[in-house]
Amino acid sequence: MHTSHHPLILRTSLATMAASIALPSSISLNSSSFSGIRIGAGAQLGVRNFGQSRVSMAASVGQTLQSDALFADYKPSSAFLFPGQGAQAVGMGKEAQSVPAAAELYKKANDILGFDLLDVCINGPKEKLDSTVISQPAIYVTSLAAVELLRAREGGQLIIDSVDVTCGLSLGEYTALAFAESFSFEDGLKLVKLRGEAMQAAADAAKSAMVSVIGLDSDKVQQLCDAANEEVDEANKVQIANYLCTGNYAVSGGVKGIEAVEAKAKSFKARMTVRLAVAGAFHTSFMEPAVSRLEAKLAETQIRTPRIPVISNVDAQPHSDPETIKKILARQVTSPVQWETTVKTLLGKGLKKSYELGPGKVIAGIVKRMERNADIENIAA
């Protein structure tokens, strides 16, 4: 659906944006502070403090290598944007079966994953599809299937050829790298499979959670986190987890810290909080156990310089050096997703048209909140 002038998108409120980023299962609203609000389906992942992320990336990746500066002066005109975990919905992938090249991706996925991914995508059950280990490969495959649906459309190949920048939200960064031919579809799927398993295992190792705070700017959310952290021990500390757009930030951390955020949100004038139905505190130090597993898998994966700029979630910059890309992908699970900065930068550099490829319309909603007249089209599968 073309959304550039769609009245529902233009009227997207902060409340409905909360709905669109909340995972479609077991969402709880902090009822003591907010009542009478119905949250719908749709969710994205989280992150840490913006200042910290730049410092930590400088330390872990080192100074930008000369070979990493290929895309430093990129000028975007047309972008492909790929969704992250939470965009999944039962029934996705069905449309893709009408295009042989798209259907083939699911067949390849079944061999790599060892189970029938398409069956779970189309038939669920929802609880199974929502699990981290299944939703991540499901979204990766369905998003790349959407590219094939577009390719089969009249004028679709011209659109694909016109795309000069790509990025994705958290998991979607892997999809973007596959589209940019930095690694093969198969190698990307193997990475995503391991990423989902490693993140689930890290979440199982500690009691952690995520919550979206709606209606505040990032400074206010940071103050809310600071206030919550005064009341909990080190193991329950919280931090801003996901910079989506003004008025919509996710906080990650220990369960007691998240409960403190929910209890204090109203006094900080938040519109509401939405507990996200994810396995744990993604994009924080709680995910540290996943890093070494990802590093090992990335080390054996052939990664090439992308054919077009792929904007990193970690520092909102494009990278061209394969070794740098590997380091960034390993640290991505413990680092804040800088989506707000990414979209602002693209728009500021003159981006004219963008496409959201894959399940859901979360990204279109975020882009519209940041630039009401933005031209963005959804390509589902």
Q: How far is it, in rounded angstroms, from Cα 161 to Cα 164?
A: 8
Query: 78-205+283-380, superfamily in CATH?
Result: Malonyl-Coenzyme A Acyl Carrier Protein, domain 2 (3.40.366.10)
Instruction: Report pLDDT digits (tens) over 341-359.
Output: 999 999 999 999 999 999 9
- To the query of whether residue 212 is one of the catalytic residues in this protein, the response is no
Average pLDDT value over all residues in the chain? 86
Residue position matching structure tokens 């996901």: 242
Q: Which residues of the chain are in CATH 3.30.70.250 domains?
A: 208-276
- Give the C-alpha separation, 87 to 136, whole Å: 10
Interhelix angle 339-348/362-370, nearest 10 degrees = 60
The pLDDT, as a whole number, for residue 344 is 96
Nearest alpha-carbon partner for 133 in 185, 191, 200: 200
- The pairing of strands 353-357 and 78-82 is parallel
Cα dihedral 358, 362, 49, 66 sign: positive
The secondary element (H helix, E strand) that includes residue 292 is helix 288-299
Long-range contacts of 218-221 (CB under 8 A, 24+ apart): 218/50, 218/243, 218/246, 218/249, 218/340, 220/268, 220/269, 220/270, 221/249, 221/251
Whose CA is closest to 286, among 239, 222, 356?
A: 239
Please give the Cα distance from 280 to 96 (Å, whole number). Answer: 31
What percentage of the chain has pLDDT greater than the value 70?
83
| Portions of the chain given CATH number 3.40.366.10 | 78-205+283-380
Q: Catalytic site residue 283?
A: yes
Among residues 283, 312, 335, 354, which one is catalytic? Answer: 283
CA-angle at 321, arms to 315 and 325, nearest 5°: 50
Instruction: Of 95, 96, 102, 89, give the one whose Cα is nearest residue 135.
Output: 89
Instruction: Evaluate the omega torsion of the peptide bond into residue 83 and state whether it is cis, within 30 degrees of 0.
Output: no
Global model pTM greater than 0.75: yes
Confidence class for position 27, pLDDT limits 50, 70, 90: very low
Higher-pLDDT residue of 9, 231: 231
Query: What was the pLDDT predicted at 83?
Result: 97
Pick the CATH number of 208-276 from 3.40.50.300, 3.40.50.720, 3.30.70.250, 3.30.530.20: 3.30.70.250
Which pLDDT band holds residue 50 (cuts at 50, 70, 90)? very low
Are 216 and 249 within 8 A, CB to CB?
Answer: yes
How far is 32 from 299, CA to CA, in rounded Å? Answer: 48
The DSSP 8-state label assigned to residue 51 in this structure reads: H
Catalytic residue among 170, 212, 252, 354: 170
Over residues 110-166, the pLDDT tens digits come to: 999 999 999 999 999 999 999 999 999 999 999 999 999 999 999 999 999 999 999
- The string of pLDDT tens digits covering residues 179-199 is 999 999 999 999 999 999 999
What does the pLDDT read at residue 66? 56
Pairing of strands 248-254, 208-214: antiparallel
pLDDT digits (tens, 9 = 90+) for 87-103: 999 999 999 999 999 99
Locus of tokens 């002038």: 5
